[in-house]
Amino acid sequence: MTKSSLKTPLSAVAVAALVLTLAACGKKDEGPQVIKIGHVGPTSGAIAHLGKDNENGAKMAIEELNAAGTKIGDKVVKFELLAEDDAADPKQGTAAAQKLVDAKVQGVIGHLNSGTTIPASQLYNTAGIPQISPSATNPKYTRQGFAGAFRVVADDVHLGGTLGKYAVETLKGKNIAVIDDRTAYGQGVAEEFEKAVKAAGATIVGHEFTTDKASDFNAILTTLKAKKPDVLFFGGMDAVAGPMLKQMKQLGLKAKFMGGDGICTAELIKLAAEGMGDENVFCAEAGGVEGDQKPGMEKFRADFKAKYNADVQVYAPYVYDAVKVMVAAMVTAGSSDPAKYLPALKATNYKGVTGNIVFDEKGDIKNGALTLYTYKAGKQEKLAVIR
C-alpha cells in the first residue's frame, strides 16, 4: 500500500458502514429478561424441615415456569429464585427481607411463620413489593392495611375457632387446657381456640406458656395434670409438640392432644415417637382440597416426591401456587413491575393445586378450607375438609 493511498479519505458511506460493523461486533446477546422472586423460610433451626419443604415448592414452580418459556408481554422471561433463611427468628427475618429489598426483587413468597412474616411485611410494603405468605395464619398480617400483603391459607380465626368447636362438639371435651409458645402464631391460634371453646360451653382449666425453643415441659404439664383436662391444646410447632407428647406419656397425662397447622406435619410422627398414640392427636392444616380438586393435589405430591425424594410436609403446594399466582398476575398485566401487576394480583382468580385462589379486600383467601387430621398406625389420617 502506498503512502498516498493511506491519505485517501474514507467516504461517508464507508464510515457509516464501519461504525455499524463495529457496533454489531461489540454488542452482546442480552438474553431473556431476568425476574427475581424472593422466598424466605426457616431452612436452619428446629423447623428447618418445614422451611425446606416450602423452599422446594418455590423451586419447583420456578423451574416449571422457566421450562415453559413463560412470556410477559411479547418477550420470554427467565425467573430467578432468591432464597433466604430466617431461622423462624423475627430479627433474622427482617434482615432477610431487607436483603431481598436491596436486591430489588419483583415479589416475595413467604415467610413461613407469622412471627417473621409480620415484621418483614412492613419492609416489603415500604418498598412497594407484593408479598404472598403461604402459611402465616395470624390475622394481623393482612389487617395492617398493606396493599401488597396476601395469603393463600385460612387465618387463625378460622383455624383456632374450628379446632375449639371440634374439641367440644366432636371430642366431647369439657375441661380443656391450653399451652402456647408465645410466638405470634402460637399465641394467636391458642387465643382463637380458647374463645371457641368457651363459646361452645366448655371450661378452660388452665393456660400455660412455653417458648418455641423449649424442650422440658414437666413443670407445666404437672400443673395441668392436676386439673384433669380431657383435651390439651398446644399453640406452636411440631419441633416442640413432639417432645411435649413424649413427656405427657411419661407423666401419665392422658388428655387428647390438639394443635394447629404448626404441628400438623408428617415429621410429628418421628418427633413424638412413643408419645404418639392412635387417634390421640388431632390437628388442622390451614388449607385442603376435596372433590375434583383432589387429582391435582395428588399429582403434585407424587411429582414432589419424585423430584426431591421426600414427602410434602405441609405447605409446599401452597408455596408452589403462590409463585404461580404472582407470575400469572405479571402475565395478565404484561409487566413484572410491582406497581403495574399489583392490580392484577388483587383481582386473582386462579385454579391451583390447592384449589381456587381468590383474594378478599384484605388480601386473605376467600372461602379458605381447613383439613382436620388425626394420627393412626404411624400415619396421618384425614378426617374432614371444612370451609
The pLDDT, as a whole number, for residue 346 is 98
The pLDDT, as a whole number, for residue 367 is 85
Q: Is the pLDDT of residue 23 over 70?
A: no
Three-state secondary structure call for residue 278? coil
Quick one: what percent of the chain has pLDDT higher than 90?
A: 86
Quick one: what percent of the chain has pLDDT higher than 70?
A: 92
Mean pLDDT lowest among 197-211, 249-263, 343-357, 365-379: 365-379
**CATH 3.30.590.10 given to domain 33-154+291-367:** no
Domain made up of 157-285: CATH architecture: 3-Layer(aba) Sandwich (3.40)
Task: State pLDDT tens for residues 122-150.
Answer: 999 999 999 999 999 999 999 999 999 99
Mean pLDDT of 201-207: 98
Q: Greater confidence, 329 or 13?
A: 329
Q: Is the pLDDT of residue 7 over 70?
A: no
The pLDDT, as a whole number, for residue 30 is 64
Q: What residue spans define the domains of the chain? A: 33-154+291-367, 157-285
Long-range CB contacts (< 8 A, 24+ apart) of 137-143? 137/185, 137/188, 137/189, 137/260, 137/261, 137/286, 138/114, 138/184, 138/185, 138/188, 139/188, 140/114, 140/184, 140/188, 141/114, 141/117, 142/362, 142/363, 142/364, 143/362
Q: Is the pLDDT of residue 178 over 80?
A: yes
The pLDDT, as a whole number, for residue 8 is 44
Per-residue pLDDT band at 29 (split at 50, 70, 90):
low
The answer to whether the 33-154+291-367 and 157-285 domains have the same CATH topology is: yes
